[in-house]
Amino acid sequence: MTDLRPLSLAQWFEPPEEMTGHFGWLCGYSADADFLDNAAERFTSQTSRQRAYTGQVSLALLLDPGNPQLSAVDVPGVLHLALHQDAPFNLLHAKVALLGYRHSVRSDEWSLRLIVSTGNWTRETLETSLDLAWVVDVHSTDLVPKEGNEKRQALADVRAAWSLMSWLRRYFDLRALNNPALRGYSHSLEFESWCERLMHLDPLPVPKFIDNREASLLQQLPAMVEAVAGRGLRNYLGMGSGFYEAPSGKDAVPSVLEKIVTSLQMAGLLTKRPNVNIFVNPTACQAVAEGLEALRGRGWYVRPAGKPAYFRGAGRTLHAKFLFGCHERGNSNACNSPWLYLGSGNLTNAGFAQKASPEGGNLEAGVVLQPSPLFWSPERSLDLDSVVTNRLPIQWEDVDSPLSLHPGAGMPDREVSFRAAPVAFLRWTPATDAAIGGWLTADAVSEAFEVLQPDGKPCMADEASRFRWPGEHPRQVQVRWPTGVTTSACMVPVLDELGRLAAAKLTPLGLEEAWAQLASFPAPPSDDELADADPDGAGGDTTEGTPGGSVRATRTYPIREMMALIENIADRQTGIEKPDWAAWCNRLEQTLIQAASDDVVEQFRCLGLNPLSPLWHAPFRPDYAESETTPEGARYEEVLRKVEEAWQVTTLSAMAELA
């Protein structure tokens, strides 16, 4: 017997063995910073401070526009994208994640993970609700045709999910993400290339993953049950939902529950007099509370949701949406011929009985499964995870009474809280005199907008539509624009000169600290190394020189110390694999620019020498970046030019000329 310890929804973001998080997409009804920070840390293996330092987008988030904006400052590494046009659905209610991972050593190997959740990307899902999730992985080696490939079904499901996600992205503002200057831009392109490879595979099985773009989940259900679990009459049906249709003012069976039972019976998948169990939150079950007597008249049971023992009695409320069918026999503990639907669609008209439409059908997604063997109650020889009450929030001990059931609140109307602004991001350019701040510049836009200072006053703009920012480089700024007779506002991330989005302020480094950060590549600097960084980009006094403002004594052997750094860089970068080269160039540029104020660099300027000059030569570079004739070589030389400018050594003598 095993000890059942199911993973939380956030824990499913952790990479498979020997993999690292590369890039991923999430869609859902709602999300909050607590959950996303947890998930992003697990996905990237980086703390919030480390992600703020890197300024790289790792997770792209598509939410219903009624969800308030989640800024990249609040959740570093996550970019919440706004809906930018009317979409062909009522609410965005589908809760799906597609996550990409790359092998830590073999860079040509990758994995894709599909998560279908009944819960939102919120702290509530982790702490207070009863939710379900289905997870499947595919590996790049699964694409190779081979006899008896057990992953063909998983490939079909991931492909179907990518079809939904790529379609959904059309309605969102992707300008910030699709910017080639963005740190990690290549990661999103690689992720898409992995997904697109699935689109060109030989015919795959019918996917178990479904959505309601073309037909309602109700309409698809019977055929999916038959395809996944086979024909045959079942005599047990469990139905659970965190929300049911609103009370209709009369004592009647809720219409969607009626339609589910009827459609399964007409398809020959459910007996004429089945054992029907409806699982609810007793204090908020809408039309089920009002229709209790009618349900009882059908011989159906209304029960409070079951709470598995591993929650140790903690209060949890049902939020999962599921249907569970099987055949039960009085002389058997087995759940025979089982099938399971789980997904985002509540058992309501908008969530289950309508296809997605602006007129009232939400966008929903789910999966229809044939579970592994399940049993009604524990036995000595059974693993705990094979007992149905440990896998689903069901039970059959308690039945609700009329006094314990209450309709609760209806589905609240949500106004648009986050809409796409005329500009998706702003570029930062420091002024020649850093004391007077810098400029914020937008790429081409078609609508007028204002950039607001911290005091709420609009920034001054010049003829070139550059906005004068009066302080240090901000991580994000508020923009305001007219929308009809009113105005709208949101926070817009700022892209710095290094391609970092909404990134934390960089503190000066000494040469030793610079090498420590380069030597740790591809891992980010540790939290200890970043302890003096300003995570909020709020500015403040900094003393030129080493981190923390300490003053470093002049070193006795500056040439030896500098040459050790150059040799270490050459040795490290000649071993970098080609897929990691762009990330290495980012790290090299950022770290060396942070070291520009080190006193050893100043001593080389006094000597009239350019200490970076050896790094231009072919022996100091990998084969694929030996010259500017390759994209890798061109990017590397661009980095060297920028660092030489920051170090003010561009016109100085090369080290080879010293003799």
pLDDT tens digit sequence for 227-239: 999 999 999 999 9
Judged by average pLDDT, the poorest of 40-54, 206-220, 436-450 is 436-450
516-538 burial, b for 16+ CB within 10 Å, e for fewer? ebbeebeebbeeebbeebbeebe
Distance, in Å, from the CA atom of 1 to the CA atom of 10, rounded to the nearest integer, reads 26
Give tens-digit pLDDT for 280-293: 999 999 999 999 99
Distance, in Å, from the CA atom of 294 to the CA atom of 304, rounded to the nearest integer, reads 18
When pLDDT is cut at 50, 70 and 90, the band that residue 13 belongs to is very high
Sole residue written with tokens 């992707």: 174
Distance, in Å, from the CA atom of 284 to the CA atom of 264, rounded to the nearest integer, reads 27
CB 485 within 8 A of CB 417: no
Share of the chain above pLDDT 70, in %: 93
Q: Is 342 helix (H, G, I), strand (E, B) or coil?
A: strand
Give tens-digit pLDDT for 588-632: 999 999 999 999 999 999 989 999 999 999 999 999 999 999 999
* pLDDT value, residue 618: 92
446 versus 297: the higher-pLDDT residue is 297
Q: Is residue 1 over pLDDT 50?
A: no
CA dihedral 43, 46, 48, 53 (to 10 degrees): -120
Distance, in Å, from the CA atom of 486 to the CA atom of 512, rounded to the nearest integer, reads 54
Amino acid at 124: E
Amino acid at 20: T
Q: Is residue 355 over pLDDT 90?
A: yes
* pLDDT value, residue 506: 86
Residue 396: CA atoms inside 13 Å, Cβ hemisphere, count?
12
When pLDDT is cut at 50, 70 and 90, the band that residue 409 belongs to is confident
Q: Is residue 145 over pLDDT 80?
A: no
Give tens-digit pLDDT for 263-272: 999 999 999 9
* pLDDT value, residue 531: 55
CB 605 within 8 A of CB 652: yes
Distance, in Å, from the CA atom of 53 to the CA atom of 608, rounded to the nearest integer, reads 33
* pLDDT value, residue 551: 40
Instruction: Label residue 29 left, alpha or beta by phi (over 0 means left) and psi (-120 to 50 means alpha).
Output: alpha
* pLDDT value, residue 553: 47
Q: Is residue 456 over pLDDT 60?
A: yes
Cβ neighbours around 159 below 10 Å, total: 22
Distance, in Å, from the CA atom of 519 to the CA atom of 490, rounded to the nearest integer, reads 39
Cβ neighbours around 79 below 10 Å, total: 23
Distance, in Å, from the CA atom of 255 to the CA atom of 351, rounded to the nearest integer, reads 13
Q: Is residue 657 over pLDDT 50?
A: no
Cβ neighbours around 131 below 10 Å, total: 24
Q: Is residue 4 over pLDDT 90?
A: no
Q: Is 487 helix (H, G, I), strand (E, B) or coil?
A: strand
Judged by average pLDDT, the poorest of 117-126, 274-283, 551-560 is 551-560
